[in-house]
Amino acid sequence: MPLLELRDVSKAFGGLQVTDHLSFDVGEGEIVSLIGPNGAGKTTVFNLITGIFHVDSGAIVFEGEKVSGLAPHRITDRGIARTFQTLRLFLNMSVLENVMAAQYGHTKATVLESMLQLPRSRREEKRIKQLAEEKLAFFGQRLAGYRHGQPAYSLSYANRRRLEIARAMATNARLLLLDEPAAGMNPHETHEITELIGKLRDEAGYSILVIEHDMHVVEGISDRVIALDHGIKIAEGTFDEVATHPLVVEAYLGVRAEAEEAV
């Protein structure tokens, strides 16, 4: 049974069909890349999976249970977490707090318990602080101890991307949705991110669905590649299969002039 399954999912904004009868799945421990030109509907797919948008028809199934229709925070509680293409950190909170905030769904202390510092509240605080530190330790020197108390806005762009991944990890997710993790990074940082994504799967055991424009990254990490255009899946398979697929080439480069004339 696949971990995540999209069954015939459609979504339209007014007359614009942004996702059209889309079906695909992500297996346990798999890294799947979602590619396609700008406006192909890749981020919309993420918004549908995380519940920010509601599907018009079809179903999204996670671990055998339907999650489409649930509120976003419930879907996150089930084990799906995402990062954003345009970074959306809690900039005025500390690095550690950013990660700790993502444990809200897995803590239970009520306001009254926190107010009076009852045992459960203190126990939970200790636990999630430790958990947040563990998640940040995954990034080694980059988000090392002395950084924890600093506000998130003091981080560089690349470190903000890392912090977003750490925050997503802290939701106890099993599936990570990474929206262009290498966007805006220099070649060296891009390389680091590529290795990191591999490590996330191999060492931390996450399954990953990633949107990426950088074909080197896609080639380096993907078990499987899915290409979208105008909300329709146009190709699926290994990187080489998809990269040479005529529809994918057409979507990215357009139809050659003489070919058009021939039609």
Partner 1 sequence: MSLGGGERREELTAPPADRLGAIESGVGTDEWVARVDERRAAQKGIGGAIARWWERTPPFARLVVLLGPFAIFPFITNSGNLYRYGLLTLIYALLALGLNVVVGFAGLLDLGYVAFFGFGAYLYGIMASGHSGHHLQAEIAIPIVVVATGLLGLLLGLTSWRLIGDYLAIVTLFFLQAFVIFVNNANGGLNDFSYPFVGKVDLTGGANGLDQIDPLNFFGWKIHTTKGYYFYTLIALALLMIMLFFVNGSRTGRAWRALREDPLAAEVMSVPVNRLKLLAFIFGAATAGFTGTIYGAVQGGAFPGDYDVGLLITIYAIAILGGLGSIGGVVVGALIVNGAPELLRSSSNARYLFYGVLLLALFVALRPWYKPVIVLVGTIAFGYAVHGIASLVWSRGTAGHISGAGGFGDALEHWVLLPSRAGSLAGWAYFALVTAALVLTLVRGWWRVVVLIPTLYLAAFVWENKLVEQVSGATRLIMLGALLVVIMNVRPSGIFGTARVEIV
Stretch that binds partner 1, among 6-14, 22-30, 151-159, 223-231 (CB under 8 A): 151-159
Which amino acid, one-letter code, is at 175?
L
| CA atoms of 94 and 133, how far apart (whole Å) | 13
Q: Does 224 bind partner 1 (CB under 8 A)?
A: no
Which backbone phi and psi does 225 adopt, to 5 degrees?
-125, 135
Whether 33 contacts 226, CB under 8 Å? yes
CB of 32 to partner 1, least distance (A): 20
Which member of 151, 184, 198, 237 binds partner 1 (CB under 8 A)?
Answer: 151
Site string for partner 1, 165-204 (x = CB under 8 A): --xx--x---------------xx-xx-------------
Cβ proximity to partner 1: between 25 and 124 the closer is: 124
Q: In what order do the strands lie in the sheet with 57-62?
A: 16-26, 4-13, 57-62, 65-66
Angle of helix 157-169 versus helix 187-202 axis, rounded to 10: 10
For residue 228, the surrounding DSSP H or E stretch is: strand 224-229
Place of tokens 């979504």: 11
Cβ proximity to partner 1: between 147 and 224 the closer is: 147
CB of 199 to partner 1, least distance (A): 16
Stretch that binds partner 1, among 3-11, 34-42, 140-148, 233-241 (CB under 8 A): 140-148
Which member of 1, 14, 64, 111 binds partner 1 (CB under 8 A)?
Answer: 111
